[in-house]
Amino acid sequence: MERQTVSIMKACELVGVSRRTIYNWIAAGKVEYVRTAGGSIRIFVDTLWRQPDGTTASAPTATA
């Protein structure tokens, strides 16, 4: 199964944040991405913090 990727602009639309926020998430390692042969960045949809329907994805909780 291949993972779905989207452009940075599409990722912004899906989660309702700015381009700068997406770049910050990339820099912080909060989302996974791949660079295309042409140098563009594609974001893996399954690593976005928010669901496409606008709800916030639940973060995993640590157990003691």
**Whole-number Å distance between alpha carbons of 44 and 64:** 30
Phi then psi for residue 41, to 5 deg, are: -100, 135
Mean pLDDT of 30-50: 91
Structure tokens at 54: 């606008």
pLDDT of 25 above 80: yes
Beta strands in 1-64 (DSSP E): 5-7, 33-35, 41-44
Could you tell me the pLDDT band of residue 63, with boundaries at 50, 70 and 90? very low
Mean pLDDT of 8-34: 94
Mean pLDDT of 48-57: 55
